[in-house]
Structure 1
Amino acid sequence: MDPRAGGFLTARDPAVFAGAPLDAIKCAAALLMVGDHVDTILLDGHAVVLWRLGRIAFPLFCLVLALHLARGADPGRYGLALLVLAVPTQAVYAAAFPYGTTEGSILFTLATGAALAAFLDRAGAMLRHLTFAAGLTVVVAAPNLARTAVDFGLAGILLPPALLLTLRDPPVYVPWLAAVVVGLNWHGWHPRGETAWVSALTDAGTILVCVPLAALAASGLRGRRRFLPPYALQAFYPGHLAVLVALRALG
């Protein structure tokens, strides 16, 4: 199969997603993120459909990160740019979510994930496998430890390297990617009436189906120029949170 035919796991050439395809993935992630945050901030978690679809947003953002790194982006500069945005945004994040006072936003998760992805990309196979095995053991056996510090916790940090290495060598790293995706919501909030493991597996199935489909659809735009202004998402992330917090304050 021609690697430029599109798709997620089959697109071995990340250049397929340069320009408009990558912007399309970003827009899909942003839209799903807003729905999730509307549910959390304004609807008190009652719109389960918005919440469930929102589970796809973070993996899409991680896919964008992995594609940038696979195309040769400097991981140091990439991570630093995320941290420069994360620090001033944290106050807005804390105002939006009750756990924001003790937990870093998704921007800190992505920055840490970018650093780990760059490290494991240069590491040997044994260290890669040991890292995923040890990390997922903590996710399952010590959820309180695994979910502290940043949004999506340890599993969220493991997702960018799992995606990057899957782009490099799908047969070897797809199992780890699937396991990390399950771990994203293993001990998280779940809808009333669902057990935690059923919810985690449902969310994992949704992610593992929808993320490749989104990438496949976006690859249809290959060859077209990007349409988002530079730093559009950097402004959009704190901006949409501030608007939702203001709407909540207005009742």
Structure 2
Amino acid sequence: MDQQDAAERVAATPYTLGSGARELLKWLALVMMTGDHVAKVVFGGYLPVASELGRVAFPLFALVMACNLAQPGADLGKSIRRLLFWGVIAQPVHALAFGGWLPVNILLSFVVAALVILALERQRAWLLLLAGGVLPAFVDYQWIGVAVVVLGWIGFRRRLWWLPLLGLAALCWHNGNGWALFSVPVLLAVGRVRWTVPRWRWAFYVYYVGHLALLAAYAQLLR
């Protein structure tokens, strides 16, 4: 009986990327995303290498977020409020930079994914219908993007390492290329090292809004 209990505890323990590794992956993804945004706004949509690496940014963000939310004691409500706050601030400059209000910026996309996870945890059918069925129509990568986060969250919590690959495969189909799968070796390589990267939470959000504001200013000067 003791051995069975121990086995169940191991099976229920989420795979853990260290805090430093998660922070490093988040900043790597932000740099990749910045390059992709510059390619879209400054170079008319495509810049070699930068545009390809941009396809890696979203799955890295999604898997890091999934791992964060899978940690014991993760505060879903706090994460949703923080993402919503900064996502609302970022949305006007995001719209000015890219010439439209839809799809919404990535922070609001992750709000939708977190709401789906909240609905699953609290068994709220109406919230699941809204967040999983309706709201993805307004976010980048739509239902596939939300699925990458949710499948990653389930995979980290249940130790089903193959499950996030289904979402990444769908993302590759959506993008028309296989670059999203490159996020897996990047995550594994970074995750094997114990990094001591400080957690600059506010700096991350300020940078995200700031780089969009600069791109928005550039886009408005050209119009």
> How far apart, in 2, do the equivalents of 1:213 and 1:23 lie?
17
RMSD: 2.8
> How far apart, in 2, do the equivalents of 1:95 and 1:249 lie?
7
Alignment partner for residue 13 of structure 1, among 4, 15, 29?
15
The residue that corresponds to 2:187 in the other structure is 215
Given that 1:116 and 1:158 are in contact with CA atoms closer than 8 Å, whether structure 2 keeps it comes out as no
Given that 1:65 and 1:160 are in contact with CA atoms closer than 8 Å, whether structure 2 keeps it comes out as yes
Given that 1:118 and 1:161 are in contact with CA atoms closer than 8 Å, whether structure 2 keeps it comes out as no
Given that 2:94 and 2:216 are in contact with CA atoms closer than 8 Å, whether structure 1 keeps it comes out as no
Given that 1:146 and 1:155 are in contact with CA atoms closer than 8 Å, whether structure 2 keeps it comes out as no
Fraction of identical pairs, as percent: 30
Q: Which amino acid aligns with 2:180?
A: I
Q: TM-score, normalised by structure 1?
A: 0.70
Within a 5 Å distance, the mapping from 1:89-238 to structure 2 comes to 89-98=90-99, 100-120=100-120, 148-171=137-160, 174-175=162-163, 177-184=164-171, 186-187=173-174, 199=176, 202-203=177-178, 206-208=179-181, 210-222=182-194, 224-238=195-209
| Secondary structure of 2:162 counterpart | helix
Alignment partner for residue 241 of structure 1, among 186, 190, 212?
212
Gaps of 5+ in 1: 1-10, 139-144, 189-198
1:217 CA drift (Å): 2.5
| Secondary structure of 1:148 counterpart | helix
| Secondary structure of 1:22 counterpart | helix
Shift in alpha-carbon separation, 1:213–1:185, aligned structure 2, 3 A: closer
The residue that corresponds to 1:42 in the other structure is 42
| Secondary structure of 2:185 counterpart | helix
The residue that corresponds to 1:79 in the other structure is 80
> How far apart, in 1, do the equivalents of 2:152 and 2:111 lie?
15
Q: Which amino acid aligns with 1:236?
A: Y
> How far apart, in 2, do the equivalents of 1:221 and 1:118 lie?
31
1:50 CA drift (Å): 2.0
> How far apart, in 2, do the equivalents of 1:35 and 1:165 lie?
30
Number of equivalences: 203
Q: TM-score, normalised by structure 2?
A: 0.78
